Structure 1
Amino acid sequence: MKVTSWRDAWHEGPGPKTRSEFIILYMKGFLMGIADLIPGVSGGTIAFITGIYSLFLDSIASINKEFFTHLLKLDFKSALSVIHLRFIIPVLFGILSAMLTLARLMHYLMNEHPIPTWATFFGLICASIFIIWKQLDKAFSPKMMFAIIVGTVFAYIMVSLIPVETPENFWFIYLCGIIGITAMILPGLSGSFLLLILGKYEYITGMLKNPFADGALAVILVFSMGTVTGLLGFSKILNFFMREYRQVTMAFLTGVLIGSMKKVWPWKEVLESVEIRGKVKVLREINIVPASMDMENVIAFTLLVIGFLVVIGLEKKANKVIE
């Protein structure tokens, strides 16, 4: 049936019908944005908790071949009726609002209070590993164990070899956008965590906290283009593997998180550093155990435990919603 009016096309897909429903959906997107700013927490988990996960996946799937076919035919009304724009707009607006308004705070914590901040991240990611592990089949097959080992070794080597100064070229920022956004649709895996591994978490949040600084808007635009590409492309490939080879894929992801914990450990000793443009850059460092329990370390351990328990609590809440 051909859509005859813009109003009918707009109301064809799911989404809020009143202002209050729009605000509620926007706030759910805002919570997803907060989660995606924090390494270790997945926006997909928040989508589960707030009851919009299935609609979120459907909205991504609505940007499909039929949608682009209508666009090429210049049949914009039919294209609008296919895409779930009424749902996408408030959620996406909420996500972007959270990232733009809270990125400054995250940037400050990473630079001024690194040990407590990294300790919190460590607890969050430990809980994420626990959550994904629970989703694996209890009867481990050799294939699954192999996938975990491969993922662990791959991630450990990756975080060991990636230099402190990763490229700031647009092609790498674009790649970071692709990789980072794919984690949003996977509960338990954080896009911000992947940006940490790629060495671009502080760089991207630094641009977001001051978007009108010289060159910041260009970086944000390129990163955003990468996120769109990831949603339309690689995320669908990942969804295919999750659908056809779910257990092996989850086992590999579990291994990736385990192997990557080396980079997130908060207590480190610098072995070699260099000063570049007035800033000290670490070239080599090793993980250590804190020698004393001063106030900073007590706070760090406390935040580590709190971060772990918060994610576990969110996961339990998500399971209740699913049931």
Structure 2
Amino acid sequence: MSLRGNRLWGVAARGMAMGAADVVPGVSGGTIAFITGIYQELLDSISRVGPHAITVLRRHGPLVAWQYINGSFLLALFAGILISIVSLARLIGYLLDTYPVTLWGFFFGLVLASVIPVLRRVPRWNTGAFFYLLLGVLVAIGVSELRPAQIPATPLILFLSGAVAICAMILPGISGSFILLMIGIYPHVLAAVHELQVMKLLYFAAGALTGLMLFSRLLSWLMHHYLARTLAFLGGILLGSLNIIWPWKLASEPVAGEHLPPLLSNTSPWTYAEVSGESNYLLAALIAAAVAALIVLAVDFYGHRQGGASEGR
């Protein structure tokens, strides 16, 4: 697979959007990959990185092996993700602290609108597809009801956390950051990024790489062999994940050191204003959600039109 230089910049931009989403505990970078039209290519490319790629390298040389794994695509995408995580971690944290309702309104609109392109791609709807749609909803709601734990950031825990988080990150609708938050590792990972704690980042990255290699193969296989059920399940996860990113939340139990919406309980905008004594920022949240939804639908429309034009040639 070869890529033109201008597309590499587009892939890197998608990577930056994925990285920005992955920083937020409640939004999945996999959602961004799906709505920007690179999800299947991402899974297929990652799944090719493995023993067979080494065989290709030995028999045919570096250039053929690089093309086999779609190396230019992966390099541009993960460079964008890394740049975004390192550069935007502080900004996202600031926005979550300063404009939480508006920012979560934006992400709510983004995820809600993302359901449309996912479910529209289901090739056929039958009892099985509807079952997996419901199953996806229940899985996401179950994840959203988890409560934070506290575990030490040992090398093994960091490795396992990276493996689990990366699996969630490439699933549209389930946030790797949210999983990290629930198991009590998110503050350690964020601090390691901010303070460039190299060893902690290496342990976490090793786990993430291992999980990515294994889980991407499973997802790629499912997408190729059970497309309707897999897409229905992913669409259900997106719908269920809206419970995590509902903008108006109030504290229902003490949470040590964290004030992010996924750790709180959903409430109405009016109850939020009454209990918190602050504005409910309803108009700002609705505008942010509408803008996000329009962006998603515009990207999907453009990608669908480009795909149709390519097929017509």
TM-score (norm: length of structure 1):
0.74
Q: Which residue of 2 aligns with 1:154?
A: 139
Deviations 1:129-161 (A, max 9, x none): 2221222245x311111112222222212211x
Is 1:313 the equivalent of 2:298? yes
> Contact 1:30–1:97 at 8 Å: present in 2 too?
no
Q: Which residue of 2 aligns with 1:102?
A: 88
Structure with a larger share of its residues in strand: 1
Distance change (3 Å), C-alpha of 1:101 and 1:149: same
Matching of residues 129-278 of structure 1 within 5 Å: 129-137=115-123, 140-160=125-145, 162-165=146-149, 167=151, 168=153, 169-183=157-171, 189=172, 193-199=175-181, 203=187, 206-207=190-191, 210-212=194-196, 216-274=197-255, 276=256
Q: Which residue of 1 aligns with 2:114?
A: 128
> Contact 2:140–2:238 at 8 Å: present in 1 too?
yes
Is 1:113 the equivalent of 2:94? no
**Number of equivalences:** 287
> Contact 1:34–1:99 at 8 Å: present in 2 too?
no
Find the aligned partners of 2:121 and 2:41 in 1 and give their Cα distance.
Answer: 22
Q: Which residue of 1 aligns with 2:268?
A: 289
Deviations 1:185-242 (A, max 9, x none): xxxx257x34335537964873475142xxx333432333234224422111111111
Residues 89-98 or 309-318, more deviating: 89-98
For structure 2, the 5+ residue unaligned runs are 22-26, 309-313
For structure 1, the 5+ residue unaligned runs are 1-12, 184-188
Identity fraction in percent: 23
> Contact 2:28–2:168 at 8 Å: present in 1 too?
no
Deviations 1:44-67 (A, max 9, x none): 24753xxx7776566435424332
Distance change (3 Å), C-alpha of 1:15 and 1:149: closer
> Contact 1:181–1:227 at 8 Å: present in 2 too?
no
Find the aligned partners of 1:174 and 1:203 in 2 and give their Cα distance.
Answer: 14
Find the aligned partners of 1:80 and 1:107 in 2 and give their Cα distance.
Answer: 41
Distance change (3 Å), C-alpha of 1:100 and 1:24: farther
> What do you get for the CA RMSD once the two structures are aligned?
3.4
1:318, distance to aligned residue in structure 2 (A): 1.3
Distance change (3 Å), C-alpha of 1:227 and 1:40: closer
1:321, distance to aligned residue in structure 2 (A): 2.1
Distance change (3 Å), C-alpha of 1:115 and 1:301: same
TM-score (norm: length of structure 2):
0.76
Find the aligned partners of 2:15 and 2:158 in 1 and give their Cα distance.
Answer: 26
